[in-house]
Structures are given as C-alpha cells and as structure tokens.
Amino acid sequence: MREISNIVILTGAGISAESGLATFRGPEGLWEGHRVEDVATPEAFARDPVLVHRFYDARRANLKTVAPNAAHLALARLDAEWPGELLIVTQNVDDLHERAGAKRILHMHGELRSAWCLACDARSRWEEDLGDHPPCPSCGAAGRLRPDIVWFGEMPYAMEAIDAALMNADLFVSIGTSGAVYPAAGFVQTARYRGAETLEMNLEPSLGSFHFHESRTGRAGELVPQWVE
C-alpha cells in the first residue's frame, strides 16, 4: 500500500443532498425542473438571459435556507488537520464546503455567489438575486452580468491545477457524483494511471465505479465522517 501523503477529493451534488440541495439526476433533480439546454449552456443564456438568471437566482436564494452537513464538516476537519497536500475539487456551485470551514477548495464549475461581467470580464461576489438586468459593480455596465458558472461546452476552471494535483496524488476520493460529466468524470482514471489509490463514496456506484479500488455505498453524511475518523 502506497504511503498516503497527497489527497485529491472530488465532490458532486450528492455531498450536498443531505443539506437539502437537489441533485441533478435524482428523481426531483434540478435538470428535471428545467431542461439542461434551457438553462446551463451559453446558447441558452444568449437566447433567454432572464430565464437563466431566474434559475440561478432561485438556487442562490435557496442557499440561505440550507447548512453544511456532517460530510462537509468532516472534510473541513480533514483539511485543517491533514499535514500533506489536500485539495477538494468540487463540481458543486454551492458554498457549503466554505461554510463548513474548508480552505483548500477549487470550484471547477464556478460558484452561485459569483457573477461575471461580459463587458469588463470582472468577477464579483453576489449575495442577493442578480435580478433581470443588474449593473456590474466594477464597470457599471447594465445587463452584462452572467452567472459565474461553467456551462456545457465551456472550459472548467483551474484544470491545470487539478491535473497537477491528480498527477501527484497518492489517494483520490470521489464523493456523491454520478460521473456523468467530463472532464471531472475522467479524474479517477488519471489518478489511477498515476498509481493512486481510488475510493468512491456514493448512494450507489457511479458510472465509472470500475476504476475505483474501493467503493463504499451509503449516505455521504455517514460515510465521510467514518472515513475521516
């Protein structure tokens, strides 16, 4: 067994499910309410920015009603205490890892609480609804803000940093993700190819579970604290 020093943890919507945030592909999943094409693509935003803003405003408002769960808190504890390298790569756009106290986080698909100005390219923190045509806090241009979210067909954030961490990982842990979307779904293969141990924690094995040396099925709120202990 390789000495574990550097850990990469990939989280998906399943880690926030027990906090009350809908997953994408569950029975009442997010995509159920809206067709993906309608809200999570640049074309959708160009076609109907008000609909897309309303979709993200609703999810941002919902953030105020939820709290980190035992899985987020356990990862934050691990982050604080782990002496080696540790990186939480989250596909989630919620802020529950931060609110649990984790520090070493990368939001590869952006964040609900960030907006991106298409006039001046600045990113800014947004707590309240973006509304239909909000002005940019940096340049003042009205109606030029978009959610700072990585949509389908857009390049995820921090891919170089993520690849570097995967190349250096001794352990890759995937928590609460279906493995349906790339490039995130390919991280386990990269880690395994580099000789890392790979562990999955999910309600049921993901699409790529054959790449994991170990799969633990159950709720993240139970499995993650047990694993961290």
What amino acid positions are annotated as catalytic residues?
Answer: 109
Q: How far is CA 138 from CA 45, 57, 132, 222, in A?
A: 21, 20, 18, 43
Task: Kindly state whether residue 184 participates in binding ligand BV8, applying the rule CB under 6 A.
Answer: yes
Distances (CA, A) of 147 to 7, 64, 66, 116, 155: 30, 17, 20, 6, 15
Q: Smallest distance from the beta carbon of 78 to ligand BV8, in angstroms?
A: 17
Q: Does 204 bind ligand BV8 (CB under 6 A)?
A: yes
The binding track of 102-121 with respect to ligand BV8, each residue x by CB under 6 A or -, is: -------x------------
Rounded Cα–Cα distance for residues 56 and 32 (Å) = 15
Asked whether residue 228 is marked as a ligand-binding residue, the answer is: no
By CB under 6 A, residue 6 contacts ligand BV8: no
Rounded Cα distance, 63 and 95, in Å = 8
Is 87:165 a contact under the CB 8 Å cutoff?
A: yes
Residue 13 CB, shortest distance to ligand BV8, in Å, is 3
Closest CA to 195 of 213, 207, 208, 178: 213
70 is in an annotated binding site: no
| DSSP string computed for 53-76 | HHHHHHHHHHHTT----HHHHHHH
| Stretch in the footprint of ligand BV8 (CB under 6 A) among 99-107, 127-135, 152-160, 189-197 | 152-160
Give the shortest CB-96-to-ligand BV8 separation in angstroms.
13
Which among 98, 96, 92, 90 is positioned nearest to 67, based on CA atoms?
96
User: Of these, 12, 49, 68, 134, which contacts ligand BV8 (CB under 6 A)?
Assistant: 12
What single-letter DSSP state applies at residue 41?
S
Q: Is 73 labelled as part of a ligand binding site?
A: no
Q: Is 210 in the site for ligand BV8 (CB under 6 A)?
A: no
Residues that bind ligand BV8 (CB under 6 A): 12-14, 17-18, 23-26, 29, 40, 91, 93, 109, 149-156, 176-178, 180-184, 202-204, 206, 219-220
Residue stretches of the annotated binding site for NAD(+): 12-31, 91-94, 176-178, 202-204, 220
